[in-house]
Amino acid sequence: MAKLDPNRSECAFTDFKAPYDRDQAVMEANRCLYCHDAPCVTACPTSIEIPEFIRKISTGNVRGAARTIFDANIHGMSCARVCPVEVLCVGACVHNLQHVPPIQIGKLQRYATDIAYAQRWQFFEAGAATGTSVGLVGAGPASLACAHELRRLGHACTIYEKRAVPGGLDTTGVAPYKMRADQSLDEVEWIMGIGGIELRTGVEVGSRPSWAELQAQHDALFLGFGLGVDTPLSIPGEELAGVWGAVEFIERLKLGKVAVSTVRNAVVVGGGNTAIDAVRELLGLGARTVTMLYRGTEAKMSGYGHEWEAALVEGARALWQALPVAVLGRDRVEGLRCLRVDDDKRPVQGTEFELEADLVLVAIGQAKLGELVAGLPGVGVERGRILVDGEGRTGNAKIWAGGDCTNGGMEVVNASAEGKRAARSIHAALKGGEKGTQGHG
Amino acid sequence: MVDLSTNCGGIRSPNPFWLASAPPANSGPQIQRAFDHGWGGAVWKTLGTPIQNVSSRFGGVDYRGLKNIGFNNIELITDRPLESNFREIYETKKKYPKHAVIVSLMVETREQWQDIIKRAIDAGADGLELNFGCPHGMCERGMGSAVGQEPKVNQEITSWAVEYSTVPVLVKLTPNVANIVPHGLAAQRGGAHGVSLINTIKSIIGVDIDRFVPQPFVAGRSTNGGYCGAAVRPIALHMVAALAREPEFRIPISGIGGVTNWRDAVEFMLLGASSVQVCTEVMLRGYRIVEDMIEGLTDYMRDKGFSKLDDMIGKAVPNFTEWGELDLNFETVAKIDANACIGCHLCVVACDDGAHQCIHPAKDSRVPVVDEAECVGCNLCQIVCPVPGCITMAPVDNGFAPATWNDHVHDGKPLRPKKAAH
Ligand SMILES: Cc1cc2nc3c(=O)[nH]c(=O)nc-3n(C[C@H](O)[C@H](O)[C@H](O)COP(=O)(O)OP(=O)(O)OC[C@H]3O[C@@H](n4cnc5c(N)ncnc54)[C@H](O)[C@@H]3O)c2cc1C
Ligand SMILES: Cc1cc2nc3c(=O)[nH]c(=O)nc-3n(C[C@H](O)[C@H](O)[C@H](O)COP(=O)(O)O)c2cc1C
Ligand code: SF4
C-alpha cells in the first residue's frame, strides 16, 4: 500500500474524542439498558446490533463485540471515529428522553474495534469461488464494503481507483482529529484481508480503461466514485493564490503539507460540515483567526450543531448572512469583498464591506460526477446523481451504484451500507443468472 | 419527637444500629470509632480459643458492573488474645456507658462456656451473643452452625449460658437450615432473651476460570464460605418474618443479613426486628454509613407518625401470610405512562420471552401497548422498566368477591376466570 509522508500536516492533531480504556468501556457498557428492538440500531444505517455488542463488552467478550460490529459494518473501525453519532445512534439513545447522558456508542465501538485491529482478529473468510467477477469503480467506503461482501459470497473483485491511495474521503477527507489517513489505510488493508480483492490504483475509469473495456471484463459493475472537485465561488479574483477548494486543501493537509502557521486571517466560505471541519483544522494548525463566512443564519447552517459548538470552543469566529462577491489582492489573496444577505439569502445592495483574508477556503459543495457515466447505456442520472433503487440497481441490469455518487454526499456509514446492500443484490443477480439479465427500472 | 432508643431482649442502646460480630467489631479502638460515628451498639467479634486465619479470606459477587452485591468470607472467630479483647471491652464500656457492647462467644465444653461468660461479663458486656451460626471451619470442629443446626444441642448450650449469665443472652442462628422456626424455638426453650439472625449462608462465591480454583484463592485451593451482603437480604427477611409470625415464638429478634441503609433497616423492623446488625456494608463503605441510617430512619418515622420504635416493629407481620390466604380474585393489569415511557422496549421483550406475550410494539410510536385482556398482572414489565413510576399495576374491578385458595377449597367460593391460560 502507498507510503504516507510521516511529517504530513495532519500528524499535528490528536484525537478529539479520547479512547476508552478497559475500565471506562466496561463501566459505560454497564450503563446500557440493552433495549429491545433498540432505537440506536434503527438510527444506524448499517443496523449494528448495538445493545448486543455493548453487552459483550460488559462481559469481557470483546472479540464477540467486534464480530457483531463488523458483521453488520465492515467499516466499524472508521465509523466508530468518524460517524456523527450525535445525530445517529447516540442521538437515538433512550437515555436522552430521561435527560440522562446517552451511552457513548461510538467510543465503545472504537474500544472493541481497536482491540480487534491490534489483535489482528479476522472474522471473515471468502466464500467458495463462484467464477464470476465484479469491477468496482473508486476505492472509497462504498466500493470497499461492496467488495468485502462480494468476497464473502465468493465473487472475484477488482477495484479501480484513480488516486494513488485507496479509502476515498475516509483517507483524504475526514478530519484528522477524528481519524488520520494512515488509520484509514489500515482499515483498507484490514478489509482486503479477506483476500481476493484486486486493487488497481492510479487508474481513472472512463478514459483508461474505458467503460466498454470494463464491461467486457466483468460480469457486473459497481459505481462508487463519490463526488467531484470543490464547487467554485465563480467570482472575480478566485484564481488568486491563497484561494483553495476546501476538500482539495483538506486532502493536502491529510496527505502532504500545508503552511498555515503564518496565516493571520483565514476565511472559510460555507456553512456545512466541510466548512466546519476546515475551520477546526485551520485553528488546529495554528492560523491566528479563522472566520466562517456563511450566507445563512447560525440556526440554518447545514453543519452539525455539535461540530460548530466544538469549533467555537476552539476559537472559531463567524460572519452570518454575508456573501463574498470578489476576491481582492494583487499577487495573492488579501481580502474578500462581501455583501450582506437577507433572510431569504438574497444580497442586499449597498451593504458592501471588505474582509481581510490571507487564506480563503471555499466549502460550498462538491461537483456531482453524473456525466462520467454518459457512456453507460441505461444508467440514469438526475442532477448529477446516479439513480438507483433500494438495492442499489441502476437502470442497467449489470451495473449497481452506491455512496456519495448516488446519495449526493452523506456519511461514510451510508456509503458502506449502500455498498454492502448492492453486493447482496449483485450476488442475487449473478446467482440467478437470468434474473440478472432481465433488467429493472 | 422521634425516639430511636432501643431495647432488644433487655439490651439497651441509643439507636437500633449495631455492628454485627465480624471484622468491623474486631477491637476496642474500632468499636469506639464506630460509636463516635453514631452506631448504637456492637457485637464484639466472636471470642473463643483464638484461631489462625488464611489469606485470602473474602470474595465478592459483581453484577452488571455493580461490585459486591453479595460477599463471602472464610474467616473464623477472633485471632486475637482473649486478654486483649477483654481489656478493650472494659475500656470501651468505660468510655461509652450508654452504648451496647454485646460479646459474641463460641467455645465447646460446658466449663469453657462458664469461664468465658464470666470473663465477658466481668469486662463489662451488656449482653452475650452465642454464635451458633458460623458455617465454615468452626462447624467442622463441632461449633458454630453444627450447634445451630441441632435444636437439642442449641437448647442445651443456650440453657448453660443463661444459667451462667447475669446479662441478656441472644442466640445467633444459622440460615443453613430448611426451616428456621424450630431453631428459634429451641433457643427460646433454652431461656434465650432473644435471637439474632441470620449468620452467613454456605456458599462458593465464584471460580477463577483461568486457574480453575474456586474463590477466595488460598494457595491453589479454596473452601466453602459464608454468603452475606445485600444479596442475602431477602433470605434474611424471610427468616426473621417466619419467626416473627410464629405464635409460639415470643422473644425479640435482632435482624441481620444484607442491611445496607435505613430502608433495609425499616424493612427488617416492620417484619419484627427490634435492632439490626450490619457487617458487610460497613466492610465495604465504612462506619460513616450510619449517619444516613439514623437520619433516614428518623425522617421515615416522623413522616409515618411513629414516635418510638415499638410503634413500627412488626407492623408488616400480620400481612405476611401463606399463599393459600392470598386473594385469588385480586386482579391487576399493567399500565404504561406514555409521557414517562422512553421507548426501550424492555417490557416488550420481558413479557414476550419471560411472561405472557401481551405487550406489543405500537405502529407509529415507541410506547408499547398492553393487551389488557391477556395481561395476567405478573408485574415483570414493571420490574424491568428503567423509568420509575412509568409502569403501574392497576387494580381491575372484575366483579368477583375476594376468595383465597383456602376459601375456595373449604367454602367453594368462586374464582375469577384465569387469564392468558389458553
Ligand atoms: C471534508 C470531508 C469530511 C468528511 N468527514 C466525514 C466524517 O467525519 N464522517 C463521515 O461519516 N463522513 C464524512 N465525510 C463524508 C464521507 O467521507 C463520504 O460520504 C464517503 O467517503 C463516501 O464514500 P464513497 O465511497 O461514496 O466515495 P468516496 O469516499 O469519495 O470515494 C470515491 C473514490 O472514487 C475515486 N474515483 C473517482 N472517480 C474515479 C474514476 N473515474 N475512476 C476511478 N476512481 C475514481 C476517488 O478517487 C475516491 O477514492 C466527509 C466528506 C468530506 C468531503
Ligand atoms: C468477614 C466476616 C467475618 C464474620 N465473622 C463472624 C463472627 O466471628 N461471628 C459471627 O457471629 N458472625 C460473623 N460473621 C457474620 C456476620 O456477623 C453477619 O451475620 C453476616 O455477615 C450477615 O450480615 P451482613 O449481610 O450485614 O454482612 C462474619 C461475616 C463476615 C463477612
Ligand atoms: S404484568 Fe406481566 S403479563 Fe402483564 S403486561 Fe406486564 S409482563 Fe406482561
Residue ranges and CATH numbers for the domains of chain B are 6-319 (3.20.20.70), 323-411 (3.30.70.20)
pLDDT band at A440 (very low <50, low <70, confident <90, very high): very low
Mean pLDDT over each residue of chain A, to the nearest integer: 95
Residue A234 lies in a domain: no
For residue B368, give how far its alpha carbon lies from the nearest alpha carbon of chain A (Å): 12
Which chain A residues are Cβ-neighbours of B66 within 8 angstroms?
Answer: 30
Beta-carbon count within 10 A of A408 CB: 15
pLDDT band at A270 (very low <50, low <70, confident <90, very high): very high
* B163-181 residue pLDDT tens: 999 999 999 999 999 999 9
CB contact burial B242-268 (16+ within 10 A = b; e otherwise) = bbbbbeebebbbbbbbbbbbbebbbbb
Option in B65, B342, B366 nearest A98 (CB): B342
Residue A404 lies in a domain: yes
Query: Stretch A236-249: mean pLDDT, rounded?
Result: 97
Ligand 1 centroid to Cα of residue A280, in Å, is: 20
| A62 in the same domain as A139 | no
Instruction: Record the cell numbers describing residue B220, joined without a space.
Output: 491453589
Q: Is B392 helix (H, G, I), strand (E, B) or coil?
A: strand
Interface confidence, given as ipTM, is: 0.84
| A389 in the same domain as A331 | no
**Interface residue B349 vs chain A (CB under 8 A):** yes
Q: Distance of CA A439 to CAs A387, A400, A425, B162, Å? A: 14, 12, 13, 98
Q: Of ligand 2's atoms, which has the minimum distance to the CA of residue B131?
A: 11
pLDDT band at A434 (very low <50, low <70, confident <90, very high): very low
Note if B341 is an active site residue.
no
In whole angstroms, what is the distance from residue A170 CA to residue A185 CA?
Answer: 9
Option in B65, B346, B386 nearest A36 (CB): B346
Q: Distance of CA B275 to CAs A373, B260, B378, B393, Å? A: 85, 14, 34, 33
Cβ <8 Å between B346 and A98: no
Flag residues of chain B having pLDDT under 70. Answer: none
Q: Whose CA is nearest to atom 15 of ligand 1?
A: A411
Residues 21-40 of A with CB under 8 A from B: 26-27, 29-31, 33-39
Say yes or no to pLDDT of A436 above 60.
no
Say yes or no to pLDDT of A414 above 50.
yes
pTM of the model as a whole: 0.90
- Count how many domains chain A has: 3
Per-residue DSSP letter, A127: P
Instruction: Record the cell numbers describing residue B411, joined without a space.
Output: 367454602
- Residue A145, C-beta contacts closer than 8 angstroms, at least 6 positions apart: A73, A74, A75, A191, A415, A416, A417, A418, A419, A420, A423
Residue A10 lies in a domain: no
Residues 375-394 of B with CB under 8 A from A: 386-387
- Structure confidence at residue A370 (pLDDT): 87
> The CATH number of the domain where A50 resides is what?
1.10.1060.10
Q: Whose CA is nearest to atom 4 of ligand 3?
A: B375
Whether the CB of B233 sits within 6 Å of ligand 2:
no
Ligand 3 centroid to Cα of residue A32, in Å, is: 23
- Structure confidence at residue A441 (pLDDT): 33
| A138 in the same domain as A111 | no
CA gyration radius, chain A: 23
Instruction: Record the cell numbers describing residue B364, joined without a space.
Output: 407509529
Residue A55 lies in a domain: yes
* A341-397 residue pLDDT tens: 999 889 999 999 999 999 999 999 999 988 899 879 999 999 999 999 999 999 999
Q: Which of A232, A252, A212, A230 is nearest to A5 (CA)?
A: A252
| A152 in the same domain as A90 | no
Instruction: Record the cell numbers describing residue A205, joined without a space.
Output: 475509469
- Residue ending a domain, among A343, A362, A381, is A362
In whole angstroms, what is the distance from residue A186 CA to residue A279 CA?
Answer: 27
| A139 in the same domain as A79 | no
| A346 in the same domain as A373 | no
Per-residue DSSP letter, A103: P
- Structure confidence at residue A433 (pLDDT): 55
Q: Which of B414, B420, B410, B303 is nearest to B355 (CA)?
A: B420
Cβ <8 Å between A36 and B348: yes
Say yes or no to pLDDT of A437 above 80.
no
β-pair type (B207-208, B213-214): antiparallel
In whole angstroms, what is the distance from residue A102 CA to residue A315 CA?
Answer: 27
Q: Whose CA is nearest to atom 13 of ligand 2?
A: B22
Q: Of ligand 2's atoms, which has the minimum distance to the CA of residue B228?
A: 25
- Among chain B residues, the shortest Cα distance to A35 is held by B344
Q: Of ligand 2's atoms, which has the minimum distance to the CA of residue B58?
A: 1
- Structure confidence at residue A1 (pLDDT): 64
- Residue A432, C-beta contacts closer than 8 angstroms, at least 6 positions apart: none
* A45-68 residue pLDDT tens: 999 999 999 999 999 999 999 999
Per-residue DSSP letter, B399: S
- Structure confidence at residue A43 (pLDDT): 98
Structural domain of A49? 18-119
Instruction: Record the cell numbers describing residue B146, joined without a space.
Output: 453444627
Instruction: From B331, B370, B371, give the residue whose CB has the most ligand 3 atoms within 8 Å, as the site to mutate.
Output: B370
Q: Which numbered ligand comes closest to the C-alpha of A373?
A: 1
Option in A35, A36, A58 nearest B65 (CB): A58
- Structure confidence at residue A439 (pLDDT): 37
Find the length of chain A: 441
Residue A3 lies in a domain: no
